[in-house]
Amino acid sequence: MNSEHTSPLEVVILAAGQGTRMRSALPKVLHELAGKALVHHVIDTAQLLKAKRIHTVIGHGADQVRDRLGELPTHWVLQTKQLGTGHAVAQALPGVDDDSTVLVLYGDVPLVRAETLEKLLDGVSDKSIALLTVELNDPTGYGRILRDTQNRVTAIVEQKDAKPEQLAIPEANTGILAAPAKYLKQWLPQLSANNAQGEYYLTDIIGMAVQNGLDVVAQTAASEWEVQGVNNRLQLAELERQHQRNIANQLMTDGVTLADPARIDVRGSLKTGRDVFIDVNCVFEGDVVVGDNVRIGPNCMIKNSRIEDAAEIDANSILEEAIVGEKAHVGPFARLRPGTELGPKSRVGNFVETKKTKLGAGSKANHLTYLGDCTVGENANVGAGTITCNYDGVNKFKTNIGDGAFIGSNSSLVAPVDIGVNATVGAGSVVTANVPDNNLAVARGKQCNIEGWQRPTKKS
């Protein structure tokens, strides 16, 4: 920010509207974009600006908003009657210090960038306020920016109050502005509702600023999507795709190969190393970290997980709160549930599910297996159809499998149980007792063949 702008920043977010065009019982600002409520995006952006305080004005569905987002770092302000943007900002001003700069944002404009707002704030001083505008091919519905012969901003006229020649102006008001709090406290009580909507327009302060001899410094947004609001589900979908495209562009700039940039969804934070390949229709949620040379196959869902260098995640796998070690291999059709840690060069194959399981370096569970509450040492092999019976209906118990152990196919390991180092469990066993190191355990009924067996027949 410039040297003149040294006052503390307070942000007022307007989020009280009902959003009738969403056709929803959910307050508009709680509808999600990239897995996060619209107003949550705006609060996050305000935090990036290092605001001294964030005030969020809520009205329709206020209890729902507070219940859902109550832990966010904002002061909730209730607007009991929705009488316009000017009235909404006035509700927050009693909690704003006189020496602050106030930045007004909107809970349904989720993609405005912190860099844009920082430039806007550079235009605020004791002698000026700042206004964010946008050039539109079709500004229908937006307030128009009026300028004098010297190109200075003089006022904003709303669509319903504009004259025909004013409707032809392409420069539109975004509603986002910044001004010294002392001026807002002076001007807002003077607002009039004598207009087509019968509301107190925040935009009327532009004319007041000009009358008081202040400059109105207009900052033009670089992109239309950055200041686009959400009024219906069509616009929400458009912004979702724009947001995902922005993320995809950044990933590719950072060295990631995307099979199709239009078919990736990031609903949180995705940090990637070099030479990563991500196939189509992958979804990333929460905080995901991906190392160098990782390959992720199509249709995978990865949430709050870390994937180390050169690991491979094959198609249709689901990872949640998991750690995949260096050069490990997962899938296809694997599910790693919370608490899973796969060691280097380990493998979890098709239709294998793990939960609270540590698989040591080089160990394998290749097919059709469930490992829950389990620790597997290094270079062990768990055969197809094996399950750890970790739950007795009330409590969970642990299974420990030692280094080099071999578990035969279709075995059931009834926890709590320990399988020793280099121990072997014969296929089809139901193991209920510990198996010492280097032992073979066979726990299955003796086969009996009956000659001349006649199958049952239906009674006539």
Candidates 257, 253, 304; CA nearest to 283 is 304
C-alpha count within 13 angstroms, C-beta hemisphere, residue 280: 4
38 C-beta neighbours (distance < 10 Å), count? 25
Rounded to whole angstroms, the Cα distance separating 92 from 79 reads 9
Contacts of 420 (CB under 8 A, 6+ apart): 402, 405, 434, 435, 436, 437, 438, 439
Coil, strand, or helix at residue 182? helix
How far apart CA 201 and CA 300 sit, in angstroms, is 48
Q: How far is CA 332 from CA 157, 313, 338, in A?
A: 59, 7, 18
Catalytic one among 31, 75, 243, 367?
Answer: 367
User: Cα–Cα distance between 180 and 56 in angstroms, integer?
Assistant: 18
367 is catalytic: yes
The pairing of strands 312-313 and 329-330 is parallel
CA distances from 440 to 3, 123, 369, 420 (A): 78, 79, 21, 10
144 and 157 in contact (C-beta within 8 Å)? yes
Report CA dihedral (256, 259, 265, 269) to the nearest 10 degrees.
Answer: -10
Q: Which residues are catalytic?
A: 367
